[in-house]
């Protein structure tokens, strides 16, 4: 047990959630615990493996049909026979066991946009998903992390998962935000500061007065990309912004946890947001970040606005506000991907879809699609793309000789109009 001069130290928010779900009064970093999970998530790539392992055990039922979520979102609408077969495995399993939260075409969304929107994931919960960006839900004050497909199978059987309690790094953001700067820019700047392994198997705890200027969409972006710094999870202390978001969506009780003032951290990193400009992550790592003003004459072939990082209605509003009355640059492909059917409908009601189409962009059904090089925007050799997605590894969006840059929706929209990476000010001045 963690002690200092004979006194028991406090716990972080992540430690408190793990303790509560493992039936213990306290846990400390390095301990192995077996915890109850509130949500077990799988998609059309990872869930078929989990389902195969589940069926091989011979068990007769899932632990709780209300706590398993299946979302075929990566290669959907089905791009080929193989992806259709993958989705059929999910559909058949959902039918067989009466899975409550199964989302098919017509009501599907990108999983990490869809689940918070539907009130399926809530503060204080433990959520595991066979997808690395499951850490998104830490924006709500949940302990949320990605696992392997076999761990998902075990959870579908017994409702539990094992964890090594992570150490925590506390990030304190102070100051205000410059115009157009969003949560995406804060997390890109942070990853640029600590590196892609700077939080390896640690909990990134986001705090500080500057976060009152970051809406839930921005917080989802930040928690989503904690994995790009190697973190086990990213997490926010719930506040009034959290409450406003979840209170109208939650269909069950939830708990707000906080970190104790004497909790122990492996590091405390202070970041002044006053100095953070719009960020771009250059090939081929999310840590290779630069202010947009330092990039000169990077000609683009494609711009993608969407994904589990930036496919929410707030993101589309920013993009449409910049693209209204403008035209997408000649020979550039601009792909807009709403994160869910609800986001799509809201964008339609607000006239955003019309803005995008009149500008010369194409609007896709909700899908992960191009983010992982799946479909709906694969890059050819030598092509350059700017995307609001979360990864820009070699070959991430297509040919290994293509290049991917990452940004928030403001820079992406402006760059789609100009045909090269620029700041929105250059379009709107």
- Residue 344 belongs to domain with CATH number: 3.30.499.10
pLDDT 10s digits, 393-420: 999 999 999 999 999 999 999 999 999 9
The residue count of the chain comes to 429
Same domain, 295 and 420: yes
36 and 177 together in one domain: no
Which of the four pLDDT bands, split at 50, 70 and 90, describes residue 387?
very high
As a three-state string, the secondary structure of 300-366 is: CCEEEECHHHHCCHHHHHHHHHHHCCCCCCCCCEEEECCCEHHHHHHHHHCCHHHHHHHHCCEECCC
Does one domain contain both 53 and 172? no
CB 402 within 8 A of CB 380: yes
Let me know: does 369 contact 377? Beta carbons within 8 Å.
Answer: yes
The residue among 211, 240, 275 that closes a domain is 275
State phi, psi for 247 to the nearest 5 degrees.
-60, -30
- Mean pLDDT confidence for 362-376: 93
**Residue 7 located in a structural domain:** no
- pLDDT level of residue 7 (50, 70, 90 thresholds): low
Backbone angles phi, psi at 8, to 5 degrees: -75, 125
Number of other residues whose CB lies within 10 A of the CB of residue 373: 18
Last residue of a domain, one of 212, 241, 275: 275
From 275, 304, 333, the end of a domain falls on 275
pLDDT score, position 427: 86
Query: What phi and psi values does residue 131 have, to the nearest 5 degrees?
Result: -165, 130
Residue-level pLDDT at 4 = 46
301 in a domain, yes or no? Answer: yes
Q: Note the pLDDT tens digit of each residue in 189-210.
A: 999 999 999 999 999 999 999 9
Q: Is 181's pLDDT higher than 50? A: yes
Is the pLDDT score of 105 beyond 80? yes
Residue 395 lies in a domain: yes
Range of the domain at 348: 279-428
Answer for the pair 118, 132: CB distance below 8 angstroms, yes or no: no
Residue 38 belongs to a domain: yes
Please check whether residue 1 lies inside any domain of the structure.
no
pLDDT digits (tens, 9 = 90+) for 10-25: 999 999 999 999 999 9
Whether 113 and 220 map to the same domain: the answer is no
- Per-residue model confidence (pLDDT) at position 2: 42
Taking the alpha carbons at both ends of the chain, their separation in whole angstroms is 59
Asked if 109 and 152 sit in the same domain, the reply is yes
Q: Answer yes or no: are the C-beta atoms of 125 and 66 closer than 8 Å.
A: no
What is the DSSP pairing of strand 32-36 with strand 160-164?
Answer: antiparallel
368 and 229 share one domain: no
Cβ distance 287 to 42 under 8 Å? no
Cα-based torsion angle of the residue sequence 29, 33, 3, 199 in order, rounded to the nearest 10 degrees: 10
In a domain, residue 2? The reply is no
Same domain, 401 and 301: yes
What is the arithmetic mean of pLDDT over 360-381? 94
pTM: 0.96
Of 155, 203, 237, nearest to 28 (Cα)? 203
In a domain, 368, yes or no: yes
Give the confidence band of 139 by pLDDT, cuts at 50, 70, 90.
very high
Same domain, 151 and 40: yes
pLDDT of residue 8: 76
Q: Indicate whether 253 and 187 sit together in one domain.
A: yes
Considering the domain boundaries, does residue 5 fall inside one?
no
* Per-residue pLDDT at 259 exceeds 70: yes
* DSSP annotation string for 70-130: EE--SSTTT-SHHHHHHHHHHHHHHHHHT-SEE--TTT-B-HHHHHHHTT-S-TT-EEEES
Do residue 196 and residue 264 come from a single domain?
yes
Q: Are residues 173 and 126 in the same domain?
A: no
Domains contained in the chain, number: 3
Same domain, residue pair 262 and 386: no
In this model, does residue 1 exceed pLDDT 50?
Answer: no
- What does the pLDDT read at residue 429? 73
In angstroms, rounded to a whole number, what is the distance separating the alpha carbons of residues 314 and 73? Answer: 21
């Amino acid at each position: 047990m963690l002690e200092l001069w004979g006194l028991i130290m406090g716990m972080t928010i992540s430690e408190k959630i793990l303790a509560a779900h493992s039936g213990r009064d306290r846990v400390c970093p390095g301990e192995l615990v077996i915890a109850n999970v509130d949500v077990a998530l799988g998609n059309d790539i990872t869930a078929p493996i989990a389902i195969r392992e589940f069926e091989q055990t011979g068990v007769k039922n899932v632990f709780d049909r209300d706590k398993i979520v299946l979302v075929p979102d990566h290669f959907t609408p089905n791009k080929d026979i193989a992806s259709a077969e993958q989705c059929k495995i999910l559909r058949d399993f959902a039918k067989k066991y009466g899975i409550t939260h199964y989302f098919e075409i017509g009501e599907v969304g990108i999983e990490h946009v869809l689940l918070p929107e539907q009130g399926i994931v809530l503060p204080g919960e433990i959520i595991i998903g066979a997808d690395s960006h499951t850490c998104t839900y830490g924006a709500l004050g949940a302990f949320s992390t990605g696992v392997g497909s076999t761990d998902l199978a075990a959870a579908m059987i017994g409702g539990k998962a094992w964890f090594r309690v992570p150490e925590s790094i506390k990030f304190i953001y102070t100051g205000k935000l410059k115009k157009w700067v969003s949560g995406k820019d804060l997390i890109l700047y942070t990853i640029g500061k600590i590196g892609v392994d700077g939080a390896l198997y640690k909990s990134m705890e986001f705090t500080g007065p500057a976060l009152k200027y970051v809406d839930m969409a921005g917080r989802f972006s930040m928690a989503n990309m904690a994995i790009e710094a190697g973190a086990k999870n990213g997490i926010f202390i719930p506040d009034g912004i959290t409450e406003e978001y979840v209170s109208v969506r939650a269909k069950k009780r939830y708990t707000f946890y906080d970190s104790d003032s004497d909790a122990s951290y492996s590091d405390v990193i202070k970041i002044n947001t006053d100095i953070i400009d719009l960020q771009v992550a250059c090939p081929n790592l999310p840590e290779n970040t630069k202010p947009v003003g330092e990039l000169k004459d990077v000609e683009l072939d494609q711009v993608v606005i969407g994904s589990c990082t930036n496919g929410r209605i707030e993101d589309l509003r920013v993009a449409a506000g910049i693209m209204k009355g403008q035209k997408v640059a000649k020979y550039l492909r601009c792909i807009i991907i709403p994160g869910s059917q609800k986001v799509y409908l809201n964008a339609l009601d607000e006239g955003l879809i019309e803005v995008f189409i009149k500008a010369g962009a194409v609007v896709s059904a909700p899908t992960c699609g191009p983010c992982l090089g799946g479909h709906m925007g694969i890059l050819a050799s030598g092509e350059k793309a700017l995307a609001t997605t979360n990864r820009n590894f070699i070959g991430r969006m297509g040919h290994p000789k293509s290049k991917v840059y990452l940004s928030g929706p403001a820079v992406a929209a402006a760059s789609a109009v100009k045909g090269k990476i620029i700041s929105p000010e250059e379009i709107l001045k």
